[in-house]
Amino acid sequence: MKILERLLEENGSGFVKLLCVTQDDLWDMLNIVRKGDRIEALTCRKIKEKVHKLRRITSVKVPCELEILVNSVEFDPIYKGIRFQGFTTSTTEYVDKGWAHTLDIKLNQPFKLTKKCWLPMDTQRIESSLEVRQEDSLAAVVLHEGVAQIYIVQRNMTSVKATVNMQVARKRSGFGSGREKSIQEFLETAAKSFMRHINVNDQKTIVVAGRGFIHNNFLETLLNVADQMDQPFSKMQKEKFVLVSVSSGYKHSLKEILNNPATADALAHTTAKEDSKTLEKFMGMVMEEPSRAFYGYKHVAMANEHVAIDTLLISDALIRSDNVHERKKYIAIVDDVKLNNGKVMVFSSLHPSGEQLNMMTGIAAILRYPLMELEDEEMDDNEEKHTGLEILLRTDDTYNADECVCPRKYYSKQEEEEKSHYKHRYAKYTLSASEMVEEWEKLVEADVSFYFDEEKKELDHEQPAPRLRMTLGDCIIKKR
């Protein structure tokens, strides 16, 4: 990232004119820009023109420079750009104030970011991105028989560049040549895909991982394919390749690559390696020293009150939350840990380690000393809901409330139909869902006690009439 111009006031407000050079810079902007900020950039606006009274109205795209008040931010690694949606802040020749507009910011496109209050975390993130180079990224080829996936592991994200799926012949007696031929075709296809999507000069290290000996065979095939395409690798480029054994050819094997001792020297200073190593240390302490490893906001906040946090693990999804109250309380913990000489590690949601941390409420802490009293504290209901450990029973009032469990636009079509059926079925009842469940349990208990209580149970002593029995001889006689 490049800073073209910067002006920050003493009260914390100001603007910064930036230029995003890599995809990591765009991801940083996703975490820095929030609802209520202002973005100014060169864009195109569709303007309607009326040439003549008898002719149709035509529309023309006119380049103009607009400033919008950000309402939402979208980022797609495949698109290689970031999109800001909002409303214009001033009246110009082509637009009026308050009109909706979308700014598409791509790589090497300058833009101006204005904030009412710049947080220290935001300025530190921009400063750290200035030192990152394109060569700090890592390429990984993870494969097993019939499946190959090519990844780019960057500072803030892990993106899939290509996926190869082919059917490989099974092992059969007398048909070994057919299986070897199909595996060779698969390796050649994966090697050609690698040559199309990966530039070796832009990568710091290239890890080839697989189970058995297939990764060794792939590297040999890759070198032969490069020679056939008249793009042979130089000696310096060949030194970038590292062979690692993993259990499968899917994304979760990236954690095995990052934790493998063979890649320790090559990935010593990368962010993904440090995050994976810290998370592995935390998971180990949860099993061996549970009084020094806690997750969830309630436990982490109590540990912060005791000034006991040595390392704070937090997901960037919590820091860029649209809920201002939620965002401020997490940022306050981050500031307190830094003030108490603790280490703060912000995990990216696009890394496997960040995905695993999000499954554990998105925040965790490694303590300096054990706190036994925290083990007796229970988690909050909303934290249990986020970890997936418990599904809470909601009343029918939840669907009509202003603050739902999640925004309405994120409900699936099936959930919408279930809610409409629920409201239509139980609209006439005044009891809530939990009260109806309690009443139903009481009725069930009454029925069970009545069934097993011999005093209340009235038995019918009259025996039914005996059933007529017919023999084979009777059937023969009746047939005659």
> So where are the chain's domains?
2-129, 135-269, 272-387, 394-427
For the ranges 43-52, 237-246, 274-283, 333-342, the lowest mean pLDDT is seen at: 43-52
The pLDDT of residue 225 is above 80: yes
Supply the pLDDT for residue 69: 93
Q: In this structure, which topology does domain 135-269 adopt according to CATH? A: Nucleotidyltransferase; domain 5 (3.30.420)
Tokens coding 256: 């095995």
The DSSP line for 171-197 is P-TT-HHHHHHHHHHHHHHHHHHHHHH
The CATH superfamily assigned to 272-387 is Ribosomal protein L30/S12 (3.30.1330.30)
Same fold, 2-129 and 135-269: no
What is the average pLDDT score of the chain? Answer: 77
For position 239, what pLDDT does the model report? Answer: 87
pLDDT digits (tens, 9 = 90+) for 155-174: 777 888 889 998 887 776 55
- How large a percentage of the chain has pLDDT more than 90? 25
Under a CB-based contact definition with an 8 Å cutoff, are residues 56 and 87 in contact?
no
CB-facing half-sphere around the CA of 145: CA atoms within 13 A: 12
The pLDDT of residue 23: 81
* Cβ within 8 Å of residue 295, ≥6 positions away: 360, 361, 363, 364, 365
CATH superfamily ID and name for 2-129: Pelota, domain A (2.30.30.870)
Three-class secondary structure of residue 448 per DSSP: helix
Question: pTM of this prediction?
Answer: 0.61
Q: Which of 194-203, 220-229, 287-296, 376-385 has the lowest mean pLDDT?
A: 376-385
Task: Report whether pLDDT(394) > 60.
Answer: no
Q: What is the arithmetic mean of pLDDT over 53-71?
A: 81
Q: How far apart are CA 308 and CA 369, in angstroms?
A: 7
Range name among 1-5, 49-53, 410-414 with the lowest pLDDT average: 410-414
Pick the residue with more confidence: 105 or 403? 105
Lowest model confidence (mean pLDDT) among 221-225, 354-358, 363-367 = 354-358
